[in-house]
Amino acid sequence: MKHKIQSRGLRSEMSPRALDKWNPAIQAAVENTSETITIYGVIGEDWYGEGVTVKRIDAALRAIGDREVTVYINSPGGDMFEGIAIYNRLREHSQMVTTKVLGMAASAASIVYLAGKKREVASSAFLMIHNCWTFLSGNRHYLRDVSDDMEEFDAAMADLYAETSGQSVEDMAELMDDETFIRGKRAVELGLATGLLAATEVTERETEEVGQANALKAMDTALAKAGMTRSERRELFASFKSGTPRAAGGGTRNAASTDKPSAVAPDLSASLSAATDLLKSLKGK
């Protein structure tokens, strides 16, 4: 099914609601051990072209070796296909995997979360599950075919939620239809989580990097609402990273990338100013 859907050029997207509610400042209070992996950003492509990928997770697991691993998650989701690949890689790990949601595990990140044999969530945190999102264009035959493919993909996700939680497939599909945010205690009640995190395990770090991530997500949301396509937005953000902001639609699409899921450009002040001017011009159209 994955090959079939991707062969049509379908790319899953983050839910705008999840991106809006995601707080990148929420992190683990202590995470500096050799057996931890942090997922603090977008699954798959982020604003600069590469967020949390199976390649990055695979490298981290190789470095950890034959030991138990803890995965901390605070993510608005992203590419479902990348999320499934990460889920499968974590499930293949030789030792026990514990997943912990600190702030949010939305969409594709909720799939990654299910990979843990032990799955914990902060009482103030949320899982968010929904049907696959995408943006595409084509004639009615193409759109109908893609809709059929997406229905199968959603059914597979409902099966996975149901198998993990012990709930019925029908109940999980209904929650997905409603794009449901599930608080920590409710996640335990449903069987999606195996327990709650202690409040002392979660903190908020208001760093410069977090501030820039907040600015980037706000711009991404605003530009999408203004009608800018995903490819144009990614090109614009790539230009921010290179330090040469420009209007979307021009210049190269080959931007440098990083394996750090929460990495942002070191200084975006000039770029943020340029983006503000761009937003004003878009609103004036």
* Residue spans of the chain under pLDDT 50: 1-8, 244-268, 285
Residue-level length of the chain: 285
Catalytic residue among 107, 110, 165, 239: 107
How confident is the model at residue 264, as a pLDDT? 36
CATH code for the domain of 130: 3.90.226.10
The pLDDT assigned to 139 comes to: 85
d(CA 14, CA 198): 28
In terms of residue numbers, what domain contains 59? 2-204
State the distance between the two ends of the chain, measured CA to CA, in whole angstroms: 41
CA 6 – CA 132 distance, rounded (Å)? 13
Which segments of the chain does DSSP mark as H helices, in order? 2-7, 16-21, 54-64, 80-91, 108-113, 140-165, 169-177, 184-190, 208-225, 230-242, 269-283
Residues 26 and 73 in one domain: yes
**How far is the CA of 40 from the CAs of 22, 75, 184, 260, in angstroms?**
10, 5, 18, 9
CA distance 121 to 143: 37
CA atoms within 13 A on the CB side of 236: 21
Same domain, 125 and 165: yes
What pLDDT is recorded for position 284?
54
Rounded distance between C-alpha atoms, residue 78 and residue 71, angstroms? 17
DSSP state of 216: H
Whether 62 and 193 map to the same domain: the answer is yes
pTM of the model: 0.78
CA distance 135 to 246: 24
DSSP, collapsed to helix, strand or coil, labels residue 144 as: helix
What is the per-residue pLDDT for 5? 39
Residue 111 to residues 11, 20, 63, 161: CA-CA distances in angstroms?
16, 20, 23, 8
What pLDDT is stored for residue 279 in this prediction? 55
pLDDT of residue 10: 58
**How many domains, in total, are found in the chain?**
2
What local confidence, expressed as pLDDT, does residue 281 receive?
Answer: 58
For the question of residue 12 being annotated catalytic, the response is no
Q: Identify whether residues 182 and 225 lie together within a single domain.
A: no
Task: Please give the pLDDT value at position 247.
Answer: 38
